[in-house]
Amino acid sequence: MIVPVPCLKNNYAYLIPNGAGGALVVDPGEAAPVREALAQLGLELEGILCTHHHLDHVGGNVELARPGIEVVGHVSDRARIPRLSRSVEDGETLEVAGIELGVLHVPGHTRGAVSYRMANALFSGDTLFCGGCGRLLEGTAAELHASLSKLVAAVPPSTTIYTGHEYTERNLRFAAAVEPDNPAIAERLATVVDRRRKGLFCAATTLEEELRTNPFLRVDVPEVRAAVACERDDPREVFGALRAWKDTC
């Protein structure tokens, strides 16, 4: 069972138990909530998976890392992720604390962004959000579009995607502006609004749900192209226009 751990203002770290009393943590933005969750579950931390170098995802590394704990991140982030001890590259398969993981290099939000894949789960960091995607801080729209296409091709639709932030309601409000006649978006937004009012977690999704409701994965849909007034039938151009629009919201 994967356990979401709220960190900072709207970040999520994730604990992945290994079934033998140990666990990995994905993106510990701060140490204290992770330690508390480990204690409550009676788990020992055995590894840290970093999707990228931003402080709100690695701020807990120094306090949590100790001898024997592997800190994993992309090879290009060797100088930017605190306590990094294992550098990985695209397509690599590795085992950490008895858990097998696949690595997907997904640049766009940052140069060294990676997503980690395991059985029926994917940790997307700030590359893919529920109903949205990351900002272009170190890459181009074409790069992020290619990275999202890679994620879609890499996992089955039933895969649960665990994202780095609770941006779901805001993203779906934007999605509804892009596709006001999409009933799947309207239904999902209503559900998320209700859940967020109750303080419930909404930062995980399935790929199948994203393909129905996330405009950044729907740039080949005529309604999305029309919404950004893109004359050319080029998904990369639609994506860039969509990302630019979202940046103004």
What residue ranges define each of the domains in the chain, with the CATH number in brackets? 1-88 (3.60.15.10), 169-201+208-247 (no CATH)
Given the residues 27, 77, 105, 126, the one annotated as active site: 126
What's the confidence (pLDDT) of residue 151? 97
Confidence of residue 233 (pLDDT cuts 50, 70, 90): confident
Q: Is 105 one of the annotated active-site residues of the chain?
A: no
Is this model's pTM higher than 0.95 or not? yes
Amino acid letter, 7: C
> Could you say which of 57, 74, 105, 145 is catalytic?
57
What's the pLDDT tens digit per position in 127-176?
999 999 999 999 999 999 999 999 999 999 999 999 999 999 999 999 99
Tell me, yes or no, if 54 is annotated catalytic. Answer: yes
The catalytic residue among 53, 74, 109, 145 is 109
pLDDT at 69 over 80: yes
Which one of the listed residues 74, 105, 145, 165 is annotated catalytic?
165
Q: What is the mean pLDDT of the chain?
A: 97
CB 47 within 8 A of CB 201: no
Gyration radius from the chain CA atoms: 18
Determine which one of 54, 74, 105, 145 is catalytic.
Answer: 54
Q: Verify whether residue 109 is a known catalytic residue.
A: yes
Distance CA 211, CA 10 (A): 24
Give catalytic status of residue 74 as yes or no.
no
Secondary structure, 3-state, the chain: CCEEEEECCCEEEEEEECCCCEEEEECCCCHHHHHHHHHHHCCEEEEEECCCCCHHHHCCHHHHCCCCCEEEEEHHHCCCCCCCCEEECCCCEEEECCEEEEEEECCCCCCCCEEEEECCEEEEECCEECCEECCCCCCCHHHHHHHHHHHHHHCCCCCEEEECECCHHHHHHHHHHHCCCCHHHHHHHHHHHHHHHCCCCCCEEEHHHHHHHCHHHCCCCHHHHHHCCCCCCCHHHHHHHHHHHHHCC
Give tens-digit pLDDT for 168-203.
Answer: 999 999 999 999 999 999 999 999 999 999 999 999
Other Cβ atoms within 10 Å of 71 Cβ, number? 22
How far is residue 196's CA from residue 105's CA, in Å, rounded to a whole number?
A: 31
Q: Which of 52, 53, 74, 105 is catalytic?
A: 52
